[in-house]
């Protein structure tokens, strides 16, 4: 979910003194409510809006974005897993995406079998790339998402915590970053235990076995 902070200059009634004030990062709806309240006070000298990448927004842009958010996916969480078979030189990729849209909860599951992968870490990065493609297909934009993986290498390299010296890894990382930039996404990469990534792991294994899975389903909880 996209978060915005507000910076404003507040003028007190007597003495014509002004104070600089700054909010914490808030949801878009809360930002618009606070902004409206400040404007109604009649004591607002100036106001500015910034996202988590420190990009500046206007009130008009935020109003427009709020209307878009009413129909686009929100509260997006992504789980990925990549498996690699040394004997066949094939990789299986598993992706699960949870989100809300039109006041309903949804789940997307997708797997793919691909060639020309060298190891499990590269398979994990390839799964992240497919996940980004799925987000683009479903018009996920202008927000912060959380991506979960049980690969320490993939998580730390994708987040920039670790450098990547392998050329094949860097190719996937560049593709991921390109899509992030295109969709204006902030991605929080989180490493989880394998036991907490069973659904994506199963999809990856099914892909290695030649079983294709692709679907979108409404969730009851």
The pLDDT assigned to 102 comes to 85
Single out the residue of 92, 51, 54 nearest to residue 201, CA to CA.
92
Length of the chain: 221
Show the domains of the chain with their CATH numbers: 3-69 (no CATH), 74-219 (3.30.420.10)
Q: Which residue has the tokens 């060298």?
A: 118
The pLDDT assigned to 103 comes to 82
The pLDDT assigned to 221 comes to 67
Q: What six digits make up the tokens of 139?
A: 């018009």
The pLDDT assigned to 53 comes to 84
Contact 24, 5 (CB under 8 A): yes
3-state SS class at 74:
strand
188: Cβ contacts below 8 Å, ≥ 6 apart: 144, 145, 146, 147
CA–CA dist 48, 56 (Å, integer): 7
Contact 216, 98 (CB under 8 A): no
> pLDDT tens per residue, the chain (221 residues)?
678 999 999 998 877 889 999 999 998 889 999 999 999 998 999 999 999 889 999 999 999 888 877 788 989 999 999 999 999 999 999 999 999 998 899 999 999 999 999 999 999 999 999 999 999 999 999 888 999 999 999 999 999 999 999 999 999 999 999 999 999 999 999 999 999 999 999 999 999 999 999 999 999 86
CA–CA dist 36, 13 (Å, integer): 19
Q: What is the pTM of this model?
A: 0.78
């Amino acid at each position: 979910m996209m978060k915005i902070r507000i910076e404003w200059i507040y003028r007190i009634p007597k003495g014509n003194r002004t104070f600089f004030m700054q909010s914490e990062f808030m949801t878009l709806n809360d930002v618009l409510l606070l902004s409206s309240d400040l404007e109604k006070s009649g004591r607002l000298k100036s106001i500015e809006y910034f996202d988590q990448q420190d990009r500046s927004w206007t009130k008009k842009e935020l109003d427009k974005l709020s209307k878009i958010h009413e129909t686009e996916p929100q509260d997006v969480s992504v789980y990925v897993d990549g498996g690699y078979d040394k004997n066949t030189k094939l990789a299986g990729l598993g992706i699960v995406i949870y989100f809300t849209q039109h006041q309903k909860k949804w789940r997307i599951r997708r797997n793919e079998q691909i060639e020309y992968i060298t190891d499990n870490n590269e398979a994990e990065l390839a799964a992240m790339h497919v996940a980004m493609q799925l987000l683009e297909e479903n018009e996920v934009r202008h927000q912060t998402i959380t991506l979960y993986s049980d690969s320490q290498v993939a998580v730390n390299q994708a987040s920039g915590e670790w450098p990547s010296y392998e050329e094949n890894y860097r190719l996937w990382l560049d593709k991921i970053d390109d899509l992030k930039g295109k969709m204006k996404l902030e991605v929080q990469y989180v490493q989880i235990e394998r036991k907490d990534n069973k659904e994506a792991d199963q999809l990856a294994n099914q892909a290695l076995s030649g079983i294709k899975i692709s679907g979108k389903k409404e969730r009851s909880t």
